[in-house]
Amino acid sequence: MQINDTAAIVTGGASGLGGATAKALAAKGARVFAFDLAASIDQADTVDGVTYVEADVTDGAALRPAVEQASSSDVPLRTVVNCAGIGPSSRILSKKGTHDLDLFHKVVNINLVGTFNVMTLAAEAIAQTEPLENDQRGVVINTASVAAIEGQIGQIAYAASKGGVVGMTVPAARDLASHGIRVMTIAPGIIDTPMLATVSDEFRASLAAGVPFPKRLGRPDEYAQLAVDIVEHDYLNGDVIRMDGALRMAPR
């Protein structure tokens, strides 16, 4: 599927994986609508071809107008990349007591329910576009994590949310097949995003040392490159691609 002269939605599009993906899709000629919270948009770089849209992925009623904005331009909405997410750490039991239930709800609501919410509303819009060759209309790319398979100590909420994203992949692809919409999931390893900005160089080096090859952290632009490849590769559907340098997470 060609990217030029189409519209794309990227959630979490003001920074990190989403920011890199929005930039990469715009460079390919897409009209990108980068959904994010106001505080993140205020700090975002200006990128040609990228329009920032304030949107909370967990708010269905408020999200619908944002999707309508992306789908009502003079080019068809074809691509959705879900990158919005959070990753706080907490154990089920610790010296502080039990895992906070509200925190668990929050992580699952943003990472899993938010992904489902955007995918559903965007698929509704994509399904109304004119079909391309082989009745294809578009693609949704969701973001999981290697933590979905090998969650570490303290990642119970994050792993549960990302495991849900992995679990949605095949049924979502089957549900949307009749509408000509593909669904894929990327499961990144340790990526050098703003979430790692506060860690020390020593800790960053220890994270990189655990990656078999190449022995470094992944880059957001590599995620973006893979997302672009998935959009353009029409036969990729209903699967999860790990992008982790052969990393298999240890317990901690």
Tell me, yes or no, if 52 is annotated catalytic. no
3-state secondary structure of 218: strand
Task: Label residues 7-23 b or e (16+ Cβ within 10 Å = b).
Answer: bbbbbbbbbbbbbbbbb
Other Cβ atoms less than 10 A from the Cβ of 214: the count is: 10
Q: Rounded to the nearest 5°, which phi and psi values hold at 74?
A: -85, 10
- Per the CB < 8 A criterion, the answer to whether 33 and 22 are in contact is no
What distance in Å separates the CA atoms of residue 136 and residue 79, rounded to the nearest whole number? Answer: 12
d(CA 209, CA 205): 6
Catalytic residue among 52, 158, 223, 235, which?
A: 158
Catalytic annotation, residues = 158
